[in-house]
C-alpha cells in the first residue's frame, strides 16, 4: 500500500479503485507513513503555522431537517436563539483582542436573517475590522444572495457537501434537499470568487468505502480551498440517535489523504474530532491539518448550538478556549499565528515573498 501513498504524495491523485484499496487496507503502520508524508507537505507550504478561526454560532434556527443534525427543524427540544448584530460585533471585538483575524459566521438556514440583514452585518464587521477575513457558513442560497454577501465583503464560504454519493445523500436528508443543488451552490461560490470549503462527516449512517471514494473524487474535481471533515457524532433527539459515530482512526486517515491530494488546502482539525478524543485536534494537526476553530459564541448560547451530543467547549469563555488551543498546539511543536490565514493562492506577500503573519505572543 505504501506505493499508493508515495504516488499520491508525488502526483496528488489516485484512481477510484486505488483510493478504495488504500482505505480498505489501511493499518496503523500505513497510517503513520501517510501522516509523515502529509506533515512533510503541510510543512513545505505552511511551515508549523496553525491558523485560527473564531467561530460565531449566531443562530440555531433552521428551516431544514437533516436527519443527523441536532438543530434540525423537527427537534422541538432545541431551545432556539438568535444573536443581534451588536452581539455578533461584540464577539468580533473579543476575538480581535485575542488575536483572531478570521470570523466564521455559522448558523442554521434561518430566514430571519434576510440578505439585507446579512449584508448589513458583513459590512459592519468589515468596517470595524478591515484586516480580518469573514467566512460564512449559512447553507444553500441563491447565486444572487451569495454575490451580495461577497460584494459586501465576505471572503470565504463553508458548505460541506456532506456526501458526494446521491443515494447516500438521500439517506441523510429529506427529499426537498438534493446533492445536485448542494454541488451547484459550491460551483456558484467558486465562480463568484470566494475561497470555498466543502466537506463531509466521517462515519455517517449508511456510509460505505464507495461513498468515501466519491467524496474524494468530488474534492479532486472541485479543488476547494478548504475541506472540513469531522466524525459524525449522534445526537439523542434526531432520527440517527441509535447509530454509532465515526472513528478517530478513519478521520485522521482521511485528513492525511486530503492533505496529499490538495497540498495547499486549509484543513481544520474540527471540534467534533476534539469531542471524540481528548487529543483529537492535536492528532488532526499531526495528520496534516493546519486550522483550528475555537468558539467565540457568547457562553450563554453555546449549549444551545448542540449539533451532536457531548460537544466540547460549551462552558468556556472565548479567552479560555483560545489559551487552551494555544497550549495544545505548542505541546506538539506547532505555533498559532495572528493572520487571516488565507489559502496560498489568495495570500498577500511582503517584499520577501513571505506571508504577512506574526506568531502570537506567549500569554497574549
- Which position among 18, 109, 330, 355 is part of the footprint of ligand FES (CB under 6 A)? 109
Applying the rule CB under 6 A, the residues between 60 and 99 that interact with ligand SAM are 68-69
Nearer to ligand SAM, 9 or 68 (CB): 68
Place of cell 508525488: 10
Is 66 flagged in the annotation as binding? Answer: yes
Q: According to the binding rule CB under 6 A, does residue 250 interact with ligand FES?
A: no
Q: According to the binding rule CB under 6 A, does residue 336 interact with ligand SAM?
A: no
Which H helix or E strand runs over 195? strand 195-202
| Shortest CB 113 distance to ligand SAM, Å | 12
Which H helix or E strand runs over 252? helix 248-261
| Shortest CB 233 distance to ligand SAM, Å | 4
Strands 335-338 and 358-359: antiparallel
Name the binder of 195 from ligand FES, ligand SAM, none, CB < 5-8 A by kind. none
- Which position among 59, 137, 163, 195 is part of the footprint of ligand SAM (CB under 6 A)? 137
Nearer to ligand FES, 18 or 109 (CB): 109
Angle at 88 between CA 86 and CA 92, to 5 degrees: 110
List, in order, residues 6 or more apart from 231 with CB less than 8 Å away: 201, 202, 203, 245, 246, 247, 248, 250, 251, 272, 273, 275, 276
Nearer to ligand FES, 55 or 66 (CB): 66
Query: Whose CA is closest to 229, among 186, 258, 195, 262?
Result: 258
Is 142 flagged in the annotation as binding? Answer: no
Name the binder of 72 from ligand FES, ligand SAM, none, CB < 5-8 A by kind. ligand FES
Is 317 flagged in the annotation as binding? Answer: no
| Shortest CB 78 distance to ligand FES, Å | 10
> Cell digits for 89?
460585533
34 three-class SS: helix
Name the binder of 308 from ligand SAM, ligand FES, none, CB < 5-8 A by kind. ligand SAM
Angle at 161 between CA 212 and CA 189, to 5 degrees: 140
Nearer to ligand FES, 72 or 156 (CB): 72
Total chain residues near ligand SAM (CB under 6 A) = 19
- What distances in angstroms separate CA 237 from CA 70, 204, 231, 303, 309, one per listed residue? 7, 16, 18, 15, 9
Applying the rule CB under 6 A, the residues between 215 and 234 that interact with ligand SAM are 230, 232-233
Contact (CB, 8 A) for 129 and 96 = yes
Contact (CB, 8 A) for 268 and 288 = no
Name the binder of 360 from ligand FES, ligand SAM, none, CB < 5-8 A by kind. none
Q: According to the binding rule CB under 6 A, does residue 161 interact with ligand FES?
A: no
Nearer to ligand SAM, 105 or 329 (CB): 105
Nearer to ligand SAM, 17 or 76 (CB): 76
CA distance 206 to 83: 35
Q: According to the binding rule CB under 6 A, does residue 306 interact with ligand FES?
A: no
Taking residue 87's Cβ as centre, other Cβ atoms within 10 Å add up to 16
CA distance 116 to 93: 22
Q: Which residues bind ligand FES (CB under 6 A)?
A: 62, 64, 66, 69, 71-72, 108-109
Per the annotation, where are the binding residues?
Answer: 62, 66, 69, 137, 162, 182
Per the annotation, where are the binding residues for S-adenosyl-L-methionine?
Answer: 162, 182
Amino acid at each position: 500500500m505504501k506505493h499508493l501513498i508515495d504516488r499520491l504524495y508525488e502526483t496528488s491523485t489516485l484512481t477510484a479503485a486505488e483510493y478504495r484499496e488504500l482505505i480498505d487496507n489501511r493499518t496503523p503502520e500505513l497510517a503513520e507513513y501517510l501522516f509523515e508524508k502529509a506533515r512533510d507537505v503541510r510543512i513545505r507550504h505552511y511551515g508549523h503555522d496553525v491558523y485560527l478561526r473564531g467561530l460565531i454560532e449566531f443562530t440555531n434556527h433552521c428551516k431544514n431537517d437533516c436527519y443527523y443534525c441536532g438543530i434540525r427543524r423537527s427537534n422541538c427540544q432545541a431551545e432556539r436563539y438568535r444573536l443581534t448584530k451588536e452581539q455578533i460585533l461584540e464577539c468580533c471585538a473579543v476575538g480581535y483582542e485575542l488575536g483572531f483575524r478570521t470570523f466564521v459566521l455559522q448558523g442554521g438556514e434561518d430566514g430571519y436573517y434576510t440578505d439585507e440583514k446579512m449584508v448589513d452585518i458583513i459590512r459592519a464587521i468589515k468596517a470595524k475590522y478591515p484586516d480580518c477575513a469573514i467566512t460564512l457558513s449559512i447553507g444553500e442560497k441563491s447565486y444572487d444572495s451569495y454575490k451580495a454577501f461577497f460584494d459586501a465583503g465576505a471572503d470565504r464560504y463553508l458548505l460541506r457537501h456532506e456526501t458526494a454519493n446521491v443515494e447516500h445523500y438521500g439517506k441523510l436528508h429529506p427529499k426537498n434537499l438534493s446533492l445536485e443543488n448542494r454541488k451547484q451552490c459550491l460551483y456558484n461560490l467558486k465562480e463568484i470568487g470566494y475561497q470555498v470549503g466543502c466537506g463531509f462527516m466521517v462515519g455517517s449512517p449508511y456510509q460505505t468505502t464507495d461513498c468515501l471514494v466519491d467524496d474524494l473524487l468530488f474534492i479532486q474535481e472541485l479543488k476547494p480551498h478548504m475541506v472540513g471533515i469531522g466524525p459524525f457524532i449522534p445526537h439523542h433527539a434526531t432520527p440517527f440517535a441509535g447509530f454509532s459515530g465515526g472513528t478517530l482512526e478513519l478521520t485522521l486517515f482521511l485528513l492525511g489523504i486530503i492533505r496529499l491530494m490538495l497540498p495547499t488546502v486549509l484543513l481544520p482539525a474540527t471540534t467534533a474530532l476534539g469531542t471524540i478524543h481528548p487529543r483529537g485536534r492535536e492528532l488532526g494537526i499531526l495528520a496534516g491539518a493546519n486550522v483550528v476553530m475555537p468558539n467565540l459564541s457568547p457562553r450563554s448560547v453555546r449549549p444551545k448550538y448542540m449539533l451532536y451530543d457531548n460537544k466540547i467547549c460549551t462552558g468556556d469563555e472565548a479567552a479560555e478556549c483560545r489559551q487552551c488551543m494555544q497550549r495544545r498546539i505548542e505541546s506538539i511543536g506547532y505555533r498559532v499565528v495572528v493572520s487571516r490565514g488565507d489559502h496560498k493562492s489568495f495570500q498577500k506577500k511582503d517584499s520577501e515573498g513571505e506571508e504577512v503573519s506574526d506568531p502570537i505572543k506567549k500569554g497574549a
